Amino acid sequence: MSGEPIDSINEFFYSLKTYSFIVADAIDKQADTLAGTIRDTLSKSEWIPESARPSPRRVPVPERMFNAVGGVGRRGGWWDKNKWSVAIVVVAAALGVAGYGYAKRKKDRKKRRAKKAGNGGRREVVVIAGRSPHDPISRSLALDLERRGFIVYVVVNSIEDEHVVANEGRSDIKPLNIDILDTENAQTAVEKFTIYLSNPVQAFPGAHPHNLNLAGVILIPDLTYPTGPVETTPIDLWSDTLNLKILSTVVTAKSFLRVLCDFHSRLLLLTPNVISPLSPPFHAPETVAVAALSGLATSLRRELAPLGVDVCHFKLGTFDCSAMMARQQQDRVNATRAEILSWAVPARVAYAKNYMSLSSKSGNSGPAGIKGSSLRELHLAVFDALTDEKPSTVWRVGSGSMIYEVLGKIVPDGLVSWMLGASRKGENGERREEGMIMGLGGVGSASGSAGTSEGSVEWEKL
């Protein structure tokens, strides 16, 4: 208690001292200002001889124009205060970019070869279950994996497909006949395949037998989807799409689950990831199917992880198929025109303009006019997913595979529609005029059949 008065006195004298300094500084500033004013006045007074006049005050000139607006000046500017922070950020960014580029280049140049048996024979087996051996991605993956030392089995369900695989002329690319539509037959075929993998094999006559290992199963559902308004899409087409894209994928995965668990293998599922993230108009079948397959991949990953099976979901962008792009673009335009003419008249008036606009800007594989990535990126990613000790659960490969997913999550619906060329309908009179223009301007003249002509004339009468 006795110390409190002393502390109060000390605080009082400290405050008095502080305020005294503040008052003294204010007086000094006022005195300096007054002295400067008197000096300026005397320097301009003509009644004082020139030799006795004091020189005027020297006004400091800003060294840079940016000082006046708070920009970057040499003294007291933003740059002087933050130059070290900026330098550290720039250096860190440069090192990060250089490190990423070096790591990516080193990873791309890494020698990727499948493990071999002790006698030098091939032991790693991969199964590719795609739409058909004619599918470009399935065929490209099979050839690349075989070149890297895998024994590749391509799932087929007909004699013709077996001949296609045999015509590749590669002894280590073999057909695996499994009829997915017949679940009992499929299960029996997979069981025989499991027995084959479990028994030792000889790489060549006289070689010591060695066991095979199933590295993984690659599921490649059909990557092409029907387009068009939901109103005009037949129920049969919806049924076929869901069966071919979703149900057949589920049946194929189900057939191989036991052998995957026995060998602790990998399951790779490939789906497109350009159109579906944006959920654009006239692509409802693809949006629904890809969403279902993504859910399947997530559920299977969590279901099989405790059993030692890794599930990798590949989200594909666009790939470079420049040799086929021009022909595909023209075929898509002709197919779009023919499809529009098959619609009922009210559907044409309601959807034709936006459907034509969207079709000219996108296709089944992605936006038109955009060159895709090289298939080599997919080859390297698939190999890494099959061989890495801890593979990523999601792989985004190909042009647009990531950016369109980001845009679909953050860009408003109105902006996405505008980017895709969609427009709102106006009054009834504008709709009639639009229908007449479209009926006369190429859509009706795309075909020379009588049915097409009648459709065009009927459209012009609106």
Structural domain of residue 395, as residue ranges?
Answer: 110-324+372-419
Structural domain contains residue 413: yes
Q: How many domains does the chain have?
A: 1
Structural domain contains residue 354: no
Residue 455, pLDDT above cutoff 50? no
Structural domain contains residue 288: yes
- Tell me, what's the pLDDT at 358? 72
Structural domain contains residue 47: no
Residue 22, pLDDT above cutoff 80? no
Structural domain contains residue 366: no
Structural domain contains residue 41: no
| Residue-wise pLDDT tens digits, 325-358 | 445 555 566 677 777 777 888 888 887 787 777 7
Whole-model pTM? 0.69
Give me the mean pLDDT over the 6-25 stretch.
Answer: 63
Structural domain contains residue 225: yes
AA letter at 391:
P
| Residue-wise pLDDT tens digits, 41-100 | 767 766 666 666 666 666 555 555 444 444 444 455 677 777 787 888 888 888 887 776
CATH number at residue 118: 3.40.50.720
Structural domain contains residue 430: no
Residue 294, pLDDT above cutoff 90? yes
| Residue-wise pLDDT tens digits, 191-245 | 999 999 999 888 777 778 888 999 999 999 888 888 889 998 899 999 988 988 9
Using pLDDT thresholds of 50, 70 and 90, give the confidence band for residue 287: very high
Give me the mean pLDDT over the 275-287 stretch.
Answer: 88
